[in-house]
Amino acid sequence: MINIEAARDGFVLNFGDRKILAHSRRAPCIEIGWAERRYRQRGGAFKLARARGFFRPLRAFKVAENGPDFAAIDFEGLLRMAIRLEGGRLRLSFARFDAGVELFRLRLQAPADERVFAGGARGGSLDLKRGTQGFWVEHRATGRPGVLTRRLDRFFGYGPHPDSASCLIPALFSSQGYYLVVDASTEILFDLRRRTQTLVEAWSVPREIIVGAKSDAASLIGDLSATLGRQPAAPAWVFDGAIVGFEGAAAATEAALEPFYARGAKLAALVLASERLDVAEEGACGSSSASGGRARPLRLLGRADPYLATSSPAFADAAAAGLLVRKASGEPYILASATGPIALFDLSQPAAVSLLKSRLVECFTDRGFSGWLAEGGELLPADALLASGEDARAVHNRWPLLWARLCREALAPAGADAVFFMRSGWLGSARYATSLWVEALPGRGGGLAAALRACLSLGLSGFGSAHVEIGPPRRGKAALEPLRAMEVAAFSPLFRVRGLGAAPPHPDYVAHLARMSEVFSALKPYHLAVAAEYDREGLPSMRHPYLHYEDEPGLLVCGRQYLYGRDLLVALPVRAEADCTELLLPQDEWVHLWSSRRFRGGPVAVESGPGFPAVFYRTNSPFASLFDAVRRTTRKV
């Protein structure tokens, strides 16, 4: 129940036995402000800087209503906070009385000894406490920029910033049994540096702030996923093997895939880079033949993004029809990309949305494709003009959500057997995308370990299915990186590889993909059970061990190991070339997958050469016989 208690010169808002807000004239819990914001953009990177702004503390207040399920507090006639208790969740909504208010700051009470997680696909430290986290969606480039480019980026303040990501969820998941969701689409900042306070700052008054609480971590993440919306179930065929991305012409796929088939690789689908969304009326969607990929029983996927190349025959007509995002001058907003200048379809324009949906259906669904990779969604400029009249600064973060909803509506005619995967996302995206992918960025990106942390962070942000995108074959010291990524993919909700066909793969790469795809395919009954558990209870597929072992604080800081479902535990070696992995087993009874050795909880070290990652299963798992069969029947590398 809601309980507002009078305090010295202020009030305290309690939710059950949890203190949410503490307000006084000397320490007000809420502030509003006015400011100017400057945005600069280069490709997918943004520079954000505040200019000439200030906050005004709202000290005076009046409790207008105070009931067990609803309360309202007026602050100086400038802001009204409504407090509702619905479905066991506390919802704070705000009404402002000055349209010029742009800044918002709220101080919430927090337990001193908590650990804080979530925030979306972040590859940094899983525990966000004692730091600050910004929320502005932008794409982290996968290439290795030159020394001069990196220096210029640092000097001018362009990204990718350490906490930037393509999919951000303004939500926090606390080890003390509560979560916090901020429903706003402008830039948001969580300041977690204070031991007993969480400061929320936004460049608009949020539509709503939601606080949920449960007695255990598994129930809490289930309630969070229900609050934010759960992902559609993936069809069973995605667990039949690897989904491989092919960079060459469709007719050449059979020859390129033959080495993988010869080694016994299990393949479920083929992503054809040559089959891309095209809005041109004639000659759309690349080549009309994909027979090379259909000689084997493979499904086909294409690629799509909400952009239009300026060289496209459809560019002039789309610009004339007002279907593109515009500059202040009225001209189409042109951005640079790796493939040349592009314009953005205006996803606030119904005619543009209708056109994109119809072309997705014609390019893919009507031609027998089983879906597509929905790329992009992060590039809306903050100073753009939109057909809806909305401020682009307030829509930028929501742009991936609009793109995801469009894709889901376009996919509807294909039924539950079709999929689409996304890289970008925002609050609400989980309702639409079948799975989110995370790139294992080399160098400053943190590699596979950072990608794993991003998947775990997405799981703690309400997503059920997130997967690591496996890179193409590499040479030298980096050759093991995609191989280790395959080992993670085998024990995850999706096994997807990109970049095949650009060059002949190394035999070690072929053999490794064959073995790990065979492991992935053999686990299909378990994959289906894990997916059903998410649909039923909201537990993510790749999950932090803390969700099931709350009484073991040592697990909270383990960022290189995860549970896949309830019964499998997987750990990464410190270095890709290491043949031994050290990890902390939760207090339970475990069996090492590859040797059948039994372990109790605690620190252990096991051999983990290529093809034999550190994987354990619970002794009393109902799938123990399946796991043992995987050990006995899968071929060696």
Query: pLDDT tens digits, residue range 532-545?
Result: 999 999 999 999 99
| Residue 62 counted as domain residue | yes
Asked, for residue 236, whether it belongs to a domain, the answer is no
Residue 28's pLDDT band (cuts 50, 70, 90): very high
Host domain of residue 170: 2-224
Q: Is the pLDDT confidence value at 113 over 80?
A: yes
* CA gap 231, 167 in Å, rounded: 15
User: pLDDT tier at 514 (50, 70, 90 boundaries)?
Assistant: very high
Question: DSSP string covering 72-98, please?
Answer: EEEETTTEEEEEEEETTEEEEEEEES-
Point out the domain boundary residue: 190, 205, 224: 224
What span, in angstroms and rounded, lies between the C-alpha atoms of 498 and 147? 27
Can you give the pLDDT at residue 479?
84
Q: Give the model confidence (pLDDT) of 351-381 as tens digits.
A: 999 999 999 999 999 999 999 999 999 999 9
Final residue of a structural domain among 224, 244, 265: 224
pLDDT at 33 over 70: yes
Query: Which positions ≥6 away from 536 have C-beta within 8 Å?
Result: none
pLDDT band at residue 607 using 50, 70 and 90 as cut-offs: very high
**CATH assignment of the domain containing 593:** 2.60.40.1180
On whether residue 251 sits in a domain, the answer given is no
Contact call for residues 423 and 457 (beta carbons, < 8 A)? no
Full-model pTM = 0.93
Please report the pLDDT score of residue 373 as a whole number.
97
User: Domain for residue 450, yes or no?
Assistant: no
> What is the reported pLDDT for 294?
41
Q: Which of 231-235, 422-426, 474-478, 605-609 has the lowest mean pLDDT?
A: 474-478
Q: Rounded to an integer, what distance in angstroms lies between the CA atom of residue 62 and that of residue 437?
A: 47
β-bridge partners, 34: 54
pLDDT of residue 156: 37
- pLDDT digits over 396-419, tens only? 999 999 999 999 999 999 999 999
Our CA angle for 600, 605, 606, nearest 5°, is 95
How many angstroms separate the CA atoms of 294 and 300, rounded? 8
Domains in the chain, number: 2
| 264-295 residue pLDDT tens | 999 999 999 888 888 875 445 655 454 344 44
* Domain end among 224, 244, 264: 224
Other beta carbons within 10 angstroms of residue 101's beta carbon come to: 17
d(C-alpha 486, C-alpha 266), whole Å: 13
- 367: in domain: no
Q: Is 318 exposed, middle or buried (0-12, 13-18, 19+ CB in 10 A)?
A: buried
pLDDT digits (tens, 9 = 90+) for 309-357: 999 999 999 999 999 999 999 999 999 888 899 999 999 999 999 999 9
CA pair distance 299, 178, nearest whole angstrom: 42
User: What is the tens place of the pLDDT at every residue in 67-111?
Assistant: 999 999 999 999 999 999 999 999 999 997 787 788 999 999 999
How large is the average pLDDT for residues 608-614?
Answer: 94
Q: Please, what is the angle between helix 624-633 and helix 507-522, to 10°?
A: 150
Residue 168, beta-bridge partner list? 120
* C-alpha span between 303 and 285 (Å, rounded): 9
The 10s digit of each residue's pLDDT in 119-153 is 999 888 899 999 999 999 988 643 333 333 343 34
Residue of higher predicted confidence among 128 and 637: 128
175 domain-assigned? yes
Mean pLDDT of the chain: 89
> Is pLDDT of 158 > 50?
no
Intra-chain end-to-end CA distance of the chain, in Å = 59
Residue 8 lies in a domain: yes
Asked whether residue 337 is assigned to any structural domain, the reply reads no
What stretches of 375-510 adopt beta strand conformation (E)? 419-422, 435-439, 466-470, 496-500
Here the CATH number for the domain that contains residue 141 is 2.60.40
Is pLDDT at 623 greater than 60 in this prediction? yes
Q: What is the pLDDT of residue 344?
A: 96
